[in-house]
Structure 1
Amino acid sequence: MRVLVVYCHPVETSFHAALHQEVLRNLRAAGHDVDDWDLYAEQFNPVMSREERLGYHEVPSNREKVQGHIDRLQRAEAIVFCFPTWCFGLPAMLKGWFDRLLMPGVAFDISDPANVKPMLTNIKRISAVVTYGRPRWMAWYMGDPPRKIVTRYMKRLTAAQARVDYHAHYHMNVATESQLKRFMHRVGHAMARFA
């Protein structure tokens, strides 16, 4: 399977960087063709310019500035997001990835605004590896936007065809070494069985 891994963390020595490597190692060992998209390493620009916003609905010219990125998304059969949750949301870099790439003519067809059609039907599998600084109950209280974006919004863009799983470690601020090892093992096991 062609798997696009979208990784978003600025620190190469972080626990999330280790999770990212665990994801890659196990997907590759399972025989998948992995496109590793490290947003920080590749210096992805998350900022939608005034020009891009004004042309957002102009299909296909809205693709011009991000066509190479769109090609990677459209080649994928599966996508794995790997990111921390900051302020109960996506990191700004990843939010910008969603804003700039999931646009009309790419992620959805709005030629009939009353009947929007999903266009990411090439994606058959969605997964996420996510860390939170706070406990699960607080993320739930805040609505857990990252979980909803991955498990609901992304799935909807695939015409609800994609199978989705979400691997979250809550309360990183007080996590013990053994808890982190267990989560790492869980993630590795999930990626080794990814299909």
Structure 2
Amino acid sequence: MKQNILIVLGHPNLNSYCAQLANTYVEAAKSSGHEAHLLNLTELNFDYNLKFGYHKEKKQTLEPDIVKSQSLIQNANHLVFIYPSWWASMPAILKAWIDRVFLPGFAFAYQKHSPFPKQLLKGKTARIIITMDAPTWYYKWVNRSPGVQLLKHGTLQFCGVKKVKVTYLDQIRFRNHETLSKWIQNIEQLGKKGE
């Protein structure tokens, strides 16, 4: 099945291994007939600070790049997030983008007399590709996967994205060229399949 895929690069360095993974995914997806859009967050122009929270009377102006981001998410049926684990979470640029983009009325809606939101992103799937220096077992069992928990459960599933798969690429700084190249090939296969 052909997908409309949005790939979000959450690493601020466009020469990083994460950027290489993102570009590989996009090229592979397009070569297999998928529609694929790469969003390099570091190239976007927006205020990182959600100034008024979700205050009803005070609404922050949505910059063109935030509006574009929402449109790309709305049109996509598969979302891919690629970012490094920094301090067991995610880079500030990715967290800021999530704060500004996944707003009430777009990604979810509060419901009276219910702790559960109306999920406005139902029908979409996602994959998280996370790189880290720590071993995967340490990130999962000692740190308890805080960055993945935040994105997978606290954001995507909260907004209705139900099938969220995670690819862990660990101990990056200790890996040899052969392993890093093999992982690039694995990401290429995911891109071709649109997964």
Contact 1:45 1:93 in 2 (8 A): no
Secondary structure of the 1:139 match is: helix
SS at match of 1:157: coil
Among all aligned residue pairs of Structure 1 and Structure 2, give the percentage whose two residues are the same amino acid: 21
- Indicate if the aligned counterparts of 2:50 and 2:60 stay in contact, CA closer than 8 A: no
**CA–CA separation in structure 1 for the residues paired with 2:72 and 2:45:** 16
Cα 1:76/1:62, change in 2 over 3 Å: farther
Q: CA deviation at 1:18?
A: 1.1
1:29, distance to aligned residue in structure 2 (A): 1.1
Calculate the TM-score normalised by the size of structure 2: 0.85
| Residue correspondence of structure 1 range 41-60 to structure 2 within 5 A | 41-49=43-51, 52-53=52-53, 56-58=54-56
CA distance in 2, matches of 1:117, 1:28: 33
Unaligned runs of 5+ in 2: none
Return closer, same or farther for 1:118/1:8 CA change in 2, 3 Å cut-off: same
Q: Is contact 2:89–2:148 with CA below 8 Å preserved after alignment?
A: no
Quick check: 2:117–2:158 contact (8 Å CA) kept in 1? no
| CA deviation string 1:12-51 (max 9, x = no partner) | 32211211111111111121112211100224432222xx
Does residue 1:88 correspond to 2:77, yes or no? no
Equivalent residues in 2 for 1:16-95, closer than 5 Å: 16-49=18-51, 52-53=52-53, 56-58=54-56, 62=59, 64-65=61-62, 66-95=66-95
8 Å contact kept, 1:23–1:191: yes
Q: Which residue of 2 aligns with 1:118?
A: 119
The root-mean-square deviation of aligned C-alpha atoms, in Å, is 2.2
Deviates most, 171-180 or 61-70: 61-70
Give the equivalent residue in structure 2 for 1:147.
148
- TM-score w.r.t. length of structure 1: 0.85
For this pair of structures, how many residues does the alignment match?
Answer: 187
> Which consecutive residues of structure 1, in runs of 5 or more, have no partner in the other structure?
none
